[in-house]
Amino acid sequence: MVKFNLWLWMVTFIICLSLNVEAAIESTCEFSTQKYASTLSKKNRVPLFVERAQFTEDTKSFLENLYLDRKKKFLRAIKEAPLRCPVEVKKAQMIVSKLLKNSEAKSLNSVELDVVVLCSKEQMPPIARLMAGKLLLLPISLFKKSKSDAHMAAVIAHEIAHLALFHYGRLRQAISDSNFKISRVDVSEIKKIHEDEADLTSLELLASAGYDPLKAVEHLKHVHELKDEKINETSKLSTHRPFESRLAFLNTQISNCY
pLDDT in tens, 9-56: 454 444 444 434 433 333 345 444 443 333 444 554 555 455 556 788
- Average pLDDT, stretch 152-168? 92
Residue 46 is predicted with a pLDDT of: 53
pLDDT of 240 reads 86
Q: How far is CA 36 from CA 204, 213, 257, in A?
A: 12, 18, 10
What is the average pLDDT across 60-80? Answer: 91
pLDDT at 50: 58
Q: How many domains does the chain have?
A: 1
Is pLDDT above 50 for 2?
A: no
Residue predicted with more confidence, 95 or 167? 95
pLDDT-based confidence at 181, cuts 50/70/90? confident
Consecutive H or E run containing 129? strand 129-131
Least confidently predicted of 43-57, 91-105, 144-158: 43-57
DSSP letter (8 states) at residue 123 = S
In whole angstroms, what is the distance from residue 212 CA to residue 233 CA?
26
- Tell me what pLDDT residue 236 has: 46
Give me the domain span that covers residue 176: 2-257
From 30-34, 53-57, 104-108, 210-214, the region with the lowest mean pLDDT: 30-34
Question: CA separation (Å) from 177 to 32, 53, 80?
Answer: 30, 12, 40
- Report helix, strand or coil for 185: helix
Share of the chain above pLDDT 70, in %: 74
153, 221, 251, 204 alpha-carbon torsion, rounded to 10°: -10
pLDDT reported for residue 105:
73
